[in-house]
Structure 1
C-alpha cells in the first residue's frame, strides 16, 4: 500500500503560507513571504523525501506556483535535482478545471480528492507526497489519510497566515521516527501515525 506523506515547511507557530517568496501567496494580507530563505541551504535536508520515486499531490494554487517555477530551473542549478524530480513526477491535482493542467504528467483528482487519494493509496506505485496546498492538506488531515508528517520547523514566528493544522484536524497520536537540527536551527522531524490519543492523569503516578 502506498503512503501519503505531508512534507511541510512550517514556522515555529505553525504558519505554512508562502515560504518560498514575497509574491507566492499574499492572500489575507500576508506580508512575510519568503521566510525560509535565510535558511535556504538547509532545504537539502528534505532531500530524503525526494531521493526515492514519488508522486506529487497538490492543491490548485500550489500547483500553479510550482508549474510556473520548476520547469524553468536549469539542471545545473543548486536545486536542479529537485526540479528534475518534480518535473518528472506524476502530479495529482485537486482542481475544478482539469483541462488547464499544462505541466507534464499532471492528472486531476476529480470531484472527490479524498476518495481519489484513498484509491491511489490502495494501488501500485510510489509513495504520494504533498507540499504546500494548505486547503487540501486540511481536508486530508481531517479525513485521516495522511500517513507521515515530514516537517521542517523554522526558527521564526509569523503571527498569522495559513496554518499547518486547523480546527478540522482529527485527534491522533504520533510517533517521532527521527529528528535532526541543522546548523541554522531548522528542526527536521519525521512523524508516523500511532493510533488514538492516549490520556491519563498525574494522580496515577
Structure 2
C-alpha cells in the first residue's frame, strides 16, 4: 500500500496560494505571492529536506505541474557553470527521474519526462495507485487536487509549515468539502523565524464528548437550546 502525503505551506488563516513568488498563482486577484520567502531559514530547509528524503513519486495538480515543469528540467546540472547550485541540481535530478502523476484535462501536453495523467476519473486512479506497491505519493502545492483528496478521505499524512501571518484571501488548504477526520501529531518544531513545522498522520474518526458536568441540563440550558 502506498500513502498519500500532502505537503503544504499555509498561513495562520489556512491560505496556501502562491507561497513561492508573485507570478506563481495570481488567480482571483491574489496579491501576496511569495509570502514564505521572508521566513526561510535553516530549520525550514531541513524540514523540507526531510520530506524529500524517503523515496517518493509526485502527485500534482495541473497548475503546480506547470510551475515545476517550467523550472526543474532547466536547472543547471553542470558544476562548471556559474549558475550551478549543488542542492538545486540534486533536487532537479530527482524530480526529473521520478514519476509524476498529474490531474489534468490536457494529458497530451504533459511533456516533462516520466509524467503520467491520472485520467478522467481521478479518484478511481488514486485509489488504484494507493493499492499498489511502490513509493509514497507526495503532493506539493496543488490546492485544487488537495480538495479532491480531502473530500474523498484519501490523505494519509499532512506535513504542514504554518507561517506567522494572515493573508485574508486566497486558496485554502481545508475547503468546505473536507471530510471530518482525526489526525495524530507525529512531529513538531518551530523554526527561528517562527514557522510551525508539523507532521500529522490520519487517525480514524473524530471522537466527541462534553465538558458538561451536570447530571441533567438546567432550565436555562434548555432555554438556550431553543434559540440555536
The TM-score range, normalised by the shorter chain, is over 0.9
Unaligned ranges ≥5, structure 2: 78-83, 215-228
Query: In structure 1, the residue corresponding to 2:212 is in which secondary structure?
Result: helix
State which of 78, 89, 100 in structure 2 corresponds to 1:91. Answer: 100
* Segment drifting more, 156-165 vs 35-44: 35-44
Aligned to 2:67: 65
The superposition leaves residues 22-60 of structure 1 with CA deviations (integer Å, 9 ceiling, x where unpaired) of 000110100000111112332331111211110000011
Structure-2 separation of matches of 1:204 and 1:151: 36
TM value normalised by structure 1 = 0.96
Structure-2 separation of matches of 1:32 and 1:44: 25
Length, aligned pairs only: 205
Aligned to 2:124: 115
The superposition leaves residues 145-184 of structure 1 with CA deviations (integer Å, 9 ceiling, x where unpaired) of 1100000111121111000000000001111011011111
Structure-2 separation of matches of 1:169 and 1:195: 15
Q: After superposition, where does 1:147-166 map in structure 2 within 5 Å?
A: 147-166=156-175
Structure-1 separation of matches of 2:207 and 2:75: 46
Aligned to 1:170: 179
TM value normalised by structure 2 = 0.86
Structure-1 separation of matches of 2:13 and 2:56: 29
State which of 204, 209, 219 in structure 2 corresponds to 1:200. Answer: 209
Contact 2:8 2:160 (8 Å CA) reproduced: yes
Larger Rg, first or second structure (1 or 2): 2
